[in-house]
Structure 1
Amino acid sequence: MKNTTISSKNKALKILLIIVFIILWFLIFLSFRITFNWFKDDSLSYMDENLTTEQRVTALMEQMTVSEKIWQMILVERGSIFDPLDIAKYSIWAVLNGSGDNPFLNTSSGWLEMVNNMQAYAQRSRLRIPLLYGVDTTHWHTNVHGATVFPHSIWLWATRDADLVRRIGKATAEEMVATNIFWWYSPNLDIAIDPRWGRFYESFGSDPNLVWELGQAYIGWFQSNLSNGARAMATAKHYLGNGSMVWGSSSQSNYFIDKWWSFISEKELREVHLVPFKKAVDAKVWSVMIGLNSWKWVKVSANKYLITDLLKKELWFDGIVISDWYWAYEIEWNGYKSLIKAINAGIDMVMLPYDYKSFSANMETAVKKWDVSMERIDDAVRRILTKKIELWLFKKNLIPKKDFQIFWSTEHRNIAREAVRKSLVLLKNNDNLLPLSKETKKIIISGSAANNLGKQSWGWTIEWQGVDWNKFPGTTILSGIRNIVSKNTDIEFSELWDFWSSEIADVGIAIVWEDPYAEWVWDKRMLVLSNQDLAAIQKTKSSCRRLVVIIISGRPINIRNQEKDWWAIIAAWLPWSEWQGVADVIFWDYPFTGQLPVKWDLK
């Protein structure tokens, strides 16, 4: 009897062990299936490319929970995702790299590896919806070390060459897509009115007609099909009236004009500031970013009339409306109420950019309390998923390898060089000093910017506020001049204007500049040359017979009281990585053709 009892216990224990083994095996199997996405169900209808985009979006949304829909509306900064498993756990489906947020290996291959790794985590989520990955830069793919650095927008306006802007758009898209990134937060369609604004140089200028012409040209080619069939998505920003802000009206103590108030009439708003955005919608731009300004005491991010009634309904914009950096939380002091106002105004995707968990919790609460309707959420999600499918993200979410020769290629560098020489504006030329002869006997050059690519490239290059070094590829003005003049020309360079030779030079070139900056950091009341710049000009002038002053700036500088004894003045704006284009024009390989994009009165 005792043996029978022991035998029964052993049998029960074996059965229990078998059950435990089966459960453990199932859990391990499930874990591996989630981790490596084994046994994919390719019959999911939203994966069927034979269906229309609308049918695929509908099929996908039918399978999504409310939480998964809310997560589609979140745009997260990469650096705030401390655990990449959160991408699959919470179904994070939109990520951006802010300016200066770069991978450890800041190269084209390093960027591709970073994005592919993020996309791989997205493929572990339940519905395997790929990430919509974007970069926050203003003048091309300049977070990446080794990318071609084209001029900022306002200097492209100086070229008045729409075909050139189209080619820059295509070149930018090619370099961006090579890193598996398909979304770029540009072009800036603000009408630049007050040069004291720190974002003045991001615009195409002050003429609405040229702003829309160049913006439309850029969007059309940036979003066109590339040679490999890929497409990229542009963003028209900052909607609406961002360039009309009034100096000194901000509620924030460290801002003087950025993120401030605009009091213009609706007539002016429509006839001046809306025009470029209307043309961008006509050009089928796929996303629009809402500005940080307020119009008639209401922040645009909370203005349902401007976003839903005007942009979406009147202009028939069917793309994605996104907020700018953190601005959906700046509408009022209460973060929850602020967020609800932004969503109900018509914002589809919120650039958080950090605390994604609290956003999801707030939105789920808003749905339960009927503060935000499911109709509004479904509209936002449908817009987002439509663009993901149209960008082919479901078929190209992982790019195993790329030919990175497109980066800083000869073709792209030649386009950048052309843009530089066409943007130069000759402000003054006494006695036709320019162009200079390549056979000039002796030339002295002063100013540290003459041999500093960082100071030439400015804000939004590698870092948000720019860099101050020569560690990325390009040509400085010093090397550009040395490359073009005769071997018999004696060139002497001094950063500090201390020229060792006592011989008076035939020509002196003094290069002065604004320090690199971006956004509100350099809202500046007085736009004048520094005492250091003026001293540099005077010392250079005392060592030469005739003086050329080259001004590197993001806006017009007041030089009315200093320029009388300068022979020639060139507005070089921000020539970026291809300063050889400056030497091309100074020494007459090409003529000066640039025209002022904004008013610059020497008299």
Structure 2
Amino acid sequence: MSATPPTEDEEPNAPAHHRKVLRLDRHGRTMIAVTVACVCLAAATLVASALEIIGPAHNAGATAGAAVPPYQDSAQPVPARVADLLGRMTLEDKLGQLTQVDRAALTSPQDIAAYRIGSILSGGGSAPADNTPTGWADMYDGFQSAAQATPLGIPIIYGIDAVHGHNNVRGATIFPHNIGLGATRDAGLVRAVGRATAEEVAGTGIDWTFAPCLCVARNDRWGRTYESFGEQAEIPTAMTSIIGGLQGGNLGEPTSILATAKHYVGDGGTTGGRDQGNTEISEAELRAVHLPPFQAAIAQGVGSIMVSFSSWNGQKLHGHRQLLTDMLKGELGFTGIVVSDWAGIDQIDGQRGFTGAEIATAVNAGIDMVMVPTDYRQFLQLLRDEVDAGRIPLERIDDANRRILTKKFELGLFERRFTDRALTSTVGNQAHRDLARDAVRRSQVLLKNQGDVLPLAKAGGKIFVAGKSADDIGLQSGGWTISWQGSAGNITPGTTILQGIRNTVGTGATVTYNREGTGIDSSYRAAIAVVGETPYAEGQGDRTGAMGLDTADLQVLSRLRASGVPVIVVLVSGRPLDIAAQVDGWAALVASWLPGTEGQGVADVLFGDYNPTGKLPVTWMRSASQQPINAGDGKPALFAYGFGLSYPGGPTTPSPSPTRTPTAGPTTGGPTTPPVATTRPVPTTPTTRPPATTAAPTTPTAGAASCTFRYAVSNQWQNGFVAEVRVTAGPAPVNGWTVRFGFPGNQAITNSWNATVTQSGSQVSAVNQGWNASVPAGGSVTFGFQATYSGTNAAPTSATVNGTACAAG
């Protein structure tokens, strides 16, 4: 999602009597609004004024003393409740459900009732004046109170970008950004992160997160690279496990929130890595690279999908009926809410300011809810005009309402309108911080370790720490933290990397810190430089020129190296940086990504309390001129996709070792998902430099089988799993393929993607789609499926392609 930092105003839970709110009108003039009397009186007054614009509303709800209507009866099935409510709604009610408004844009909270607004959101940094968990809960409850003033009492659904924890809320647990989670290759861990995030979000009343981002970042110049789990579809596909954590086993559970797969589709593949740019690729590449994570998300039951700002071959996604209706809702069978991005419909015609034609194009293309997000009065008027003129069919409006209302009923919003205050204390609790610390240490990727300088001993001598990112929660958390673009400084509670280092050594060693690296001499046994990028988010994060360290970082590194002390670089960044010219002078290098509030996890790795296990989810460039660089493209990498070292002697026991909270897929308490397999070989012994070139895909030698077959379970829970199959052609191309294999257990496939998959007993057949029928010599094709199982979930041991046996890949 994109957001312009909004203006804070007074919240709806503040005293109603003589409340003064300082605002700017549409021309920038200062206005003082004085609100008097109770919510009900204000709502009635504003409803009357709103009717001048959107017409009269009729009370279609139950009258006093009448039987409870079916839509208010929680014992009724959801489809029956939706049908009953839809039949009682006026056109104004229905149009309001399609409307999502930023909280700071509301002239008054009572406009929720007056204009029948269906959803409120907080854009990046759009927070209540009391930015505490309780302040958020009070704000949310005030908005839900206002929504009750409508004749039908339809609750709002509140959305927020909780993209690495509940990151807009001061005091919340901030987890590593997605690129770090992708480095863990641990789908079970990521599901646990989703579960913890859902608890904290629910603890502030909010019921919808615009996460996870399932983009496949193909160019590191893109400012949203850190929002991607990895450059190959296999990692984001596996990490859709987070959806099971966010949504829980049932959306109606108190700690479940609606998840959003974003941004559909291809936003990570724009030319030049330009944010909101143009993805100029074939349909076959779009399907093979960018679509699989969304297919897996739908298989996971994701409740909403957000449309990308970007274009595909020149056509904006927000108006792309082929991709939104024909493919997403038709071919893929998505039944949830399709939501626009921030003012995304305004980009369809390339002119500033949305029009009726843009609204009609977007809604008819398949968008169900429009993130307006500011001028909701004009939007509703134009939407009404388009419906009245027949340019938007009423059937399309009803379809959008069914999708939206279904999720509101499934979430239990009609029964539990207000914040469960028993959950508010979960925000930033110790269990969640322990989980975040575990995620941090699992995300660290050791890229260089000359002379086994790491792990550092905790006792003896002196350690020098330097760099702007060593003692700064804001820098180590990155963008989308408290504010949209993020910022430096003590913006929220947490443990900095420097604090983690000091906690770890205790009194066993002397730790000296100087941000600029001044004061070091040869008496120190090691120097730790914590350097990297400053916070950014979309747009402002694009790097079209150089991609190296800034001047201040280079000066710090120069001072440290001049002392003759071994320099250990901890790189805090949202993407690989151009460091080839400096890395030879460093004794060790750790890619720390953007770890969030629990910097202790970085220290755990530096001092050996945790043996690094992270593997690169992206290819590390030798120079910025190589961008885009990705596995398999033949460009020589500084560090290959999947590369990552460990310490000699095997894994060590973490100390302390937090207990992983059982997480929910379809049921809770299922087995932890095994790490995702990488497609590139990983060194098994430490080296001081990585391989000079990207490792090539496995291809059969003369006399070997003419194909290879790799089967990997990317996500597993009790009685269910998601698997991916990769088949690599041998020396000859394949034109049209059928893959056959047998299950050794009691697995039963329920749905599939990228192939037509059928099953007879234990035997499975997968036949190509039209767009992926041709596989070049040495090339690969992937397909996936969701299945159930009982007993053990053993993997197939052999397969054939077009009747020829394949070697294990």
Same fold (TM over 0.5): yes
Q: Aligned with 2:556: secondary structure?
A: helix
**Letter matched to residue 201 of structure 1:** Y
1:176 aligns with 201
2:588 aligns with 568
Q: Distance in 2 between matches of 1:132 and 1:573?
A: 33
Matched, 1:426 2:446: yes
1:68 aligns with 93
- Residues 439-465 of structure 1, C-alpha deviation per residue, up to 9 Å, x if partnerless? 241111111211110111111000001
Matched, 1:316 2:333: yes
Which segments of 5 or more consecutive residues in structure 2 lack a partner in the other structure? Answer: 1-37, 46-60, 621-636, 639-691, 693-809
1:463 aligns with 483
Q: Distance in 2 between matches of 1:495 and 1:342?
A: 50
Q: Aligned with 1:520: secondary structure?
A: coil
1:519 aligns with 538
Q: Aligned with 1:521: secondary structure?
A: coil
Q: Distance in 2 between matches of 1:412 and 1:272?
A: 33
Aligned pairs for 1:160-309 within 5 A: 160-215=185-240, 217-225=241-249, 229-247=254-272, 257-309=274-326
Matched, 1:87 2:112: yes
- Residues 307-365 of structure 1, C-alpha deviation per residue, up to 9 Å, x if partnerless? 00000011110000001010111100362211111011000000011011111111111
2:342 aligns with 325
Q: Is the 8 A contact 1:206 1:598 kept in 2?
A: yes
Q: Is the 8 A contact 1:506 1:544 kept in 2?
A: no
Q: Aligned with 1:456: secondary structure?
A: helix
Question: How many residues get paired?
Answer: 564
**Higher-Rg member (1/2):** 1
Shift of 1:188: 0.5
How large is the RMSD of aligned CA atoms in angstroms? 2.0
Q: Aligned with 1:448: secondary structure?
A: coil
Q: Distance in 1 between matches of 2:409 and 2:286?
A: 34
Q: Is the 8 A contact 1:511 1:549 kept in 2?
A: yes
Say if 1:235 and 1:40 are closer, same or farther in 2 by CA, change over 3 A.
Answer: farther
**Letter matched to residue 104 of structure 2:** G
Which segments of 5 or more consecutive residues in structure 1 lack a partner in the other structure? Answer: 1-27, 248-255
Shift of 1:418: 0.5
Shift of 1:32: 10
Q: Is the 8 A contact 1:328 1:339 kept in 2?
A: yes
**Letter matched to residue 311 of structure 2:** S
Shift of 1:33: 11
1:99 aligns with 124
1:451 aligns with 471
2:168 aligns with 143
- Residues 262-300 of structure 1, C-alpha deviation per residue, up to 9 Å, x if partnerless? 111001111111111011111110000000111122111
1:20 aligns with none
Say if 1:92 and 1:535 are closer, same or farther in 2 by CA, change over 3 A.
Answer: same
Q: Distance in 2 between matches of 1:228 and 1:286?
A: 14
Q: Is the 8 A contact 1:475 1:578 kept in 2?
A: yes
- Residues 370-428 of structure 1, C-alpha deviation per residue, up to 9 Å, x if partnerless? 11000111100110001100000001112363343312212111110011001111111
Aligned pairs for 1:383-532 within 5 A: 383-399=403-419, 401-499=421-519, 502=521, 504-525=523-544, 526-532=546-552
**Letter matched to residue 199 of structure 1:** R
Aligned pairs for 1:30-49 within 5 A: 43-49=68-74
Shift of 1:40: 8.5
The structure with higher relative contact order (CA 8 Å, sep 6+) is: 1
Shift of 1:468: 1.5
Q: Is the 8 A contact 2:202 2:423 kept in 1?
A: no
- Residues 478-531 of structure 1, C-alpha deviation per residue, up to 9 Å, x if partnerless? 1111111151411110012222x6553110111111010000112102211112
Q: Distance in 2 between matches of 1:401 and 1:407?
A: 11
Q: Distance in 2 between matches of 1:481 and 1:360?
A: 55
Q: Distance in 2 between matches of 1:33 and 1:341?
A: 33
**Letter matched to residue 309 of structure 2:** L
Say if 1:39 and 1:522 are closer, same or farther in 2 by CA, change over 3 A.
Answer: same
Q: Aligned with 1:569: secondary structure?
A: strand
Q: Is the 8 A contact 1:442 1:506 kept in 2?
A: yes
Q: Is the 8 A contact 1:98 1:137 kept in 2?
A: no
Q: Is the 8 A contact 1:204 1:211 kept in 2?
A: yes
- Residues 199-250 of structure 1, C-alpha deviation per residue, up to 9 Å, x if partnerless? 11101111111211112x1011211148964421000000011111002xxx
2:727 aligns with none
- Residues 171-215 of structure 1, C-alpha deviation per residue, up to 9 Å, x if partnerless? 000111111111000100110100000011101111111211112
Matched, 1:579 2:603: no
Q: Distance in 2 between matches of 1:474 and 1:517?
A: 20
**Letter matched to residue 141 of structure 1:** H
* TM-score, normalised relative to structure 1: 0.90
Q: Is the 8 A contact 1:34 1:125 kept in 2?
A: no
Q: Aligned with 1:370: secondary structure?
A: coil
Shift of 1:369: 1.0
**Letter matched to residue 602 of structure 2:** V
1:119 aligns with 144
Share of identical aligned residues, percent? 42
Q: Is the 8 A contact 2:43 2:146 kept in 1?
A: no
Matched, 1:595 2:615: yes
**Letter matched to residue 293 of structure 1:** S
Q: Distance in 2 between matches of 1:204 and 1:302?
A: 27
Q: Is the 8 A contact 1:505 1:544 kept in 2?
A: no
Aligned pairs for 1:546-565 within 5 A: 546-565=566-585
Q: Distance in 1 between matches of 2:43 and 2:311?
A: 49
Q: Is the 8 A contact 2:43 2:113 kept in 1?
A: no
Matched, 1:155 2:172: no
326, 347, 356: which one aligns with 2:376: 356
Q: Distance in 1 between matches of 2:43 and 2:606?
A: 64
Q: Distance in 2 between matches of 1:323 and 1:488?
A: 55
